[in-house]
Structure 1
Amino acid sequence: MTALELTPIWDKVFPESDKVEHGKIIFHNRYGIELAADVYKPKGATGKLPAIAVSGPFGAVKEQSSGLYAQTLAERGFLTIAFDPSFTGESGGSPRYMASPDINTEDFMASVDYLMNRDDVDPERVGILGICGWGGMAVSAASCDPRIKATVASTMYNMSRVNANGYFDADDSAEKRNEARAAMAARRTAEYASRDYARAGGVVDPLPDDAPQFVRGYHAYYKTPRGYHARSLNSNDGWTAIGCESFVNFPTNVYADEIENAVMIVHGDKAHSFYFGKDTYDQLAHGVNPANKELVVVEGANHTDLYDQVDIIPWDTIVDFYQKYLA
Structure 2
Amino acid sequence: MATIDRQAATLALAHALSAAERGLPVIPLSRTKLPALPSPHRDDPRPVLCRGECGLPGHGVHDATTDPAAVRALFAAAPWATGYGIACGRPPHHLIGIDLDTKPPEADATAALQHLALRHLFTIPETVVVITPSGGRHIWLTGPPGTVVPNSASRLAPGIDIRGAGGYLVGPGSLSTRGVYRLAPGTAHLGPAPCPRALLDLLTPPSRPHAAQPHGDHQGHGLVQFVLAAHEGQRNTRLFWAACRAYENGIGEELAGALTSAAIRTGLTEQEARATIASAARMNAAR
Greater share of helix residues, 1 or 2? 2
| TM-score normalised according to structure 2 size | 0.23
**Structure number, greater radius of gyration:** 2
| TM-score normalised according to structure 1 size | 0.21
